[in-house]
Structure 1
């Protein structure tokens, strides 16, 4: 992501200050928790997409920074709540909010971040910004609920998988790109174009995450977690659809009834690797990536477009 960071170096420095200021609180406990979250923030890809899409359409302004801040606040809030729901002890190499302060505080911290984001848009009269992100959040929540309600009736259809990852992941990255564009572009069609661009990138991004679960490289977590949590992803879907009847029956039984047995999970991981499931999912990921490039190349060549292209490549080429 070197080119992307260099292209918007000054904007990222200003965003960093804005983000750190936003994480401060007069409430002692909240201030301590927010400082801990800020100290272990991630790669901030979503704010980078916001700022680059804003630059692609014009000059970065106060609305652009609010769009970048809002996406990071909302994303952070969702992670705090996810760690609570999943009872996760670690987040980005550190103890999670849930591990240190338990469920009640996690709920309140996540709610505080969501509220702070909403007030940011309302106080600055940014209804378009609020609408873009609210639509995405609604899709994310519905996607999570759909996945939860289907945990006992698993779907092994590609179309269902794509619909789920669109709702849970791609919709939010699409909102980030659209919000950035909306802060500087006057043409609604341009905003929609970059929304579609973000959707394609988001689909590729989630496919890469799902590939990690069946890979052999160390990515900081054990393989097979998705199987353990009864999450059906594309590598497994392809494997089951193309397996012989005996193997298919065995795989289905393990996923439905023996998904907490480490040896059984390892068997599924091995079969997926041997069956071509990883290769197929990787090809589909690259199709989404290339569709994102087709949209991006509608814009004139520029350093900003090149930086966005690099950022897209990072989503599919990253090692973790």
Structure 2
């Protein structure tokens, strides 16, 4: 049994029922839409986000309810919508090894499908008066948009400090995982704002560690993770690079900024940048920070009694920083 299956084990029944409910929540009277949503459902990823929702709910209350299923469906609908829109924005033809919607059905249809999924998610909450859950999700969507735009703005000038980097990844990545954990708690214990906030913070810390791990893949040789140097080619300022910049002399700094700005398509130059970042201990520093976020997340779980759900969340936290892709 692989690690993801182990994590899923205590909520296997919930995940199976969730799949049916999620598929149903996508249904439309338009045949083309149903064909596309069928394609989406059959090419799903690990489904970590709904897993966070169910594990959190079960850990804090020992049970789930219909609100939990709706919360998991809404988060997955909105997450899927953002991925569809991302592929259009990035002009990406592949998603998890399969053709993206824009590659198969072109940009206009892909954007409309993304909008449809977004509206289905919002209506699922509104129709059931889950306004507290809708608020959690809406804040996450706003922050994700702000994080993407902040990253684009900073990439133009390459003037990202470590603090700004943390703010970007908090908004871009961590906020959605934070929303999953807050949703799980809020769905079963709507009155316990302290526990909801604790779980939101827990999700945020895991999200921060997750993104730093993702950034480290950019410096990994071989086929695991994403292709080496892709962030440098896209002029993304990640933590290893920021650390190297902060510990470079004036001449090295000029060379580094010039390389990322003007020579990011030159494979030899990208390799030189990767070597320079490694030499300046950028990877070691980023790994330390990732472990700090992971340890802080684990500390928050100490507030809860031992259970299979807590154990699965501990496994999840460790998986985030030990995964190979």
| TM-score between both structures, scaled by the size of structure 2 | 0.96
Moved more, 48-57 or 270-279: 270-279
* Correspondence for 1:319 among 312, 315, 324: 324
* Correspondence for 1:33 among 23, 33, 36: 36
- Distance in 1 (alpha carbons) for counterparts of 2:102 and 2:275: 33
Deviation of residue 47 (structure 1)? 0.4
| TM-score between both structures, scaled by the size of structure 1 | 0.97
Say yes or no: does 1:49 pair with 2:30: no
The unaligned stretches of length 5 or more in structure 2 are none
Contact 1:251 1:268 in 2 (8 A): yes
In the other structure, the counterpart of 1:290 is: 295
Say yes or no: does 1:204 pair with 2:209: yes
Moved more, 60-69 or 22-31: 22-31
Deviation of residue 218 (structure 1)? 1.5
In the other structure, the counterpart of 2:94 is: 90
Contact 1:24 1:35 in 2 (8 A): no
Q: How does 1:29-178 map to 2 (within 5 A)?
A: 29-58=32-61, 59-178=63-182
What CA RMSD, in Å, does the superposition of the two structures yield over aligned residues?
Answer: 1.2
The unaligned stretches of length 5 or more in structure 1 are none
Contact 1:23 1:38 in 2 (8 A): no
Contact 1:51 1:180 in 2 (8 A): yes
SS at match of 1:151: helix
Contact 2:158 2:257 in 1 (8 A): no
- Distance in 1 (alpha carbons) for counterparts of 2:193 and 2:122: 23
Q: Deviations over 1:147-184 (max 9, x none)?
A: 22222211241001001101111111101100110011
Moved more, 87-96 or 26-35: 26-35
Residues matched between the structures, number: 320
Q: How does 1:156-305 map to 2 (within 5 A)?
A: 156-185=160-189, 186-219=191-224, 221-305=226-310
Contact 1:4 1:311 in 2 (8 A): yes
Contact 1:136 1:172 in 2 (8 A): yes
